[in-house]
Amino acid sequence: MSHHEHKARAPKSARVCVITCSDSRTMQTDEGGRRIIGALEQHGHAIVSYEIVPDEPSRILSAIAATDAQVVLLTGGTGISKRDSTFEAVSSLLVRPLPGFGELFRMLSFEQIGSAAMLSRAVAGITPEGLLVFAMPGSPAAVELAMDKLILPELGHLLEELQR
């Protein structure tokens, strides 16, 4: 079956949990989280939960474990500062990594911001329970890049593949 045939029969809507990993963002200042939610709603996906958690692995893992969504989209905590721990938390859950997400994100980011793209530790994959997890940087521009160029074009297709 071709890529286009898979996409044609893929689910049109996903149940998505949005988590912002930040020690400083609030519901009022979380521009990245708002952009994720806006993009998902615009494409007909259902937001099952949205929360802001401190950039602490245990809190990130608890938030992911508590969801009944099909997909978790995290923003923030993917850099290299001492407090950036989203990569480690998410990576510890994945039994089937999708290395292409991080690779493509950094390639596309490089086209926009140059060599600073190497500081991003965007990561994605599937948990043992079959949950699809994406972690992207916290900047609004990075969120838009990841959502528009990578996640939204393939979300239904990824879910269809997971159901096979």
Whole-prediction pTM: 0.94
Give the integer Cα–Cα distance in Å for 147 and 126: 18
Pair type for strands 46-53 and 96-97: unpaired
Residue ranges covered by each domain of the chain: 13-158
Confidence grade of residue 4 (pLDDT, cut at 50, 70, 90)? low
Long-range CB contacts (< 8 A, 24+ apart) of 1-6? 3/157, 6/157, 6/160, 6/161
- Lowest mean pLDDT segment, chosen from 14-18, 57-61, 62-66, 160-164: 160-164
The answer on pLDDT for 3 being more than 70 is no
pLDDT of residue 12: 83
pLDDT of residue 1: 61
The answer on pLDDT for 5 being more than 70 is no
CATH class label, 13-158 = alpha beta
